[in-house]
Every structure is written in C-alpha cells, then in structure tokens.
Amino acid sequence: MKKLLFILSLFFIILNTVSAEGIKTIKQPYKITASDGFTINATLEYQKDKTKMEYKTVVLLHSLGYDSQWWESLPQDLLNKGYAVLTIDLRGHGTSVYNSKLTRVSWKSMTNKAFEKYPDDVQAVINTIISENKRKFFDNWAIVGVDIGASTGICIVNKMPNKPKTIVMLSPVVKSKGLYIPVKLAEIDNVDILSITGKNDVAGKKAERYLKKFAQSAFISYTSESKSTGMLMLKSDETLANVITAWVAQYLK
C-alpha cells in the first residue's frame, strides 16, 4: 500500500516541498581509522535542537569516481525535513584518500580487495557514531546509495543491530569492483527497495531487472526523466531529490 501511495503521489511532490534554508544545524566531522589503517572521513549533520535525543537518519553513499560533494540538493532537502544526514567519502574518493603510511591512494589504482572493504568501512563509521553519541541516530534510518555505494549499502544491512527501514538505489549494479550483491540481496528481509534509473540507462535497467529476482521484500522501479546516470541524475533532474525524500518519509515515521 505504501508503494502504491508513493507512486500516486509523485505528481504532487513538488507542490508539497517545504523550504527551510534558514535552519540551524550541527555538522559533526568523523575521521575513522579502518582496520588496515586507511582513513575514512564522514560528516554527520542534523538540526540543532538541545531537547531532541533521537534522530531519523539517512546515510548517503556516493558512486564510483565521485564523492560526497555531488549530492546536489538532496542533503539539504533531507535536513529541511528534520532528518540527520550522514555522508561518507568511500576510500579512494574525496577526502578519504590516505592509507596507513599517509600515502594518497586513488580509487583508480585500488584492487578489488580494497573495494571489498567498503562495507566494513561504512559499518565502522556508523558504529563509531553510535558509541560516541548520547543521541540515537540509527534506531530509525535509511540508506541512499549510487552504483557501488548502493551495493555497499546492501552488504551492510544484515551486519547492523538495527536494519535500515528502506534502501534507495540509484543506477544499481549487479557487480562492481568485487562487490557482488544478488546473494546479499536475497539474504535481506523486511527492507523495501526503491531502484532509480535514468530513461536512457540501459545497463542500470538490466541490472535492476536481474536484482529484482533476488529481493525478498518490495522492489519498486522508478524511471527518472534524466538522460544521465548515477549522481548526475540529481543534477539534471531537479525533482529527483524530492522523489527520494518522499520515499524515505514513508518509512522513517
């Protein structure tokens, strides 16, 4: 029923968008040392409210070759709605480019074994936030990921004490740099998924059809009017951030 209501309401999303650019937020940086010494940088941002001890949180995991600066208006839209937003630069991207020897490492030169550490990196960031905060951020949360970021999100679901309520996948992939997700997807229950592809994204739609066979809960497809793929869809389709926010809002009550 939730999915039907979501589809029917897409035409009204823009009309119901609330602007709150003047809100005050707390932006908390995190620098996590992974098990192999690689430094992972992340930022948790949420509305400033001394009386609030629990936040609904959305974790944003970027795509291959990009970083957390490419989310366009989505983080602000989520903040405006009262959600906490966790952005993580995956290893080899953005500010997460230093190994244990303080040598810069780009994703372009990383092996598949390094990419396979993405789920552990993200889990380490989340566990650190849980352990270092009196406020609760991961009792009620969701994941939004793009290609390898979406695959990373799928891989951590069953490792978390509280599973995310839903996952949004942009330009999904079956296998990327050593992360193969069909089996992982088949192991997840009670987590609905929204898959988003651009109208010309042939590879994304093919992966979407294949992955849907493994989903144990609802797997809803949405086609953006964007001719782009991945994070670039957020730039060329100005309604997409609102579509994602509206989907997340069904689950983070």
Please check whether residue 150 is in contact with residue 172, taking contact to mean a CB–CB distance below 8 angstroms: yes
Residue 246 in tokens: 């509206």
Helix (H, G, I), strand (E, B) or coil at 129: helix
* Predicted pLDDT at 211: 97
| Per-position pLDDT tens, the chain of length 253 | 455 445 444 434 433 444 445 789 999 999 999 999 999 999 999 999 999 999 999 999 999 999 999 999 999 999 999 999 999 999 999 999 999 999 999 999 999 999 999 999 999 999 999 999 999 999 999 999 999 999 999 999 999 989 999 999 999 999 999 899 999 999 999 999 999 999 999 999 999 999 999 999 999 999 999 999 999 999 999 999 999 999 999 999 8
Nearest residue to 84 (alpha-carbon basis) of 134, 125, 138: 138
Please check whether residue 27 is in contact with residue 42, taking contact to mean a CB–CB distance below 8 angstroms: no
* Predicted pLDDT at 23: 83
The pTM (predicted TM-score) of the whole model is 0.92
What are the boundaries of each domain within the chain? 2-14+24-251
Q: How far apart are CA 99 and CA 39, in angstroms?
A: 6
Domain spanning 2-14+24-251: CATH 3.40.50.1820: yes
The number of helix segments (H) and strand segments (E) in the chain equals 9, 10
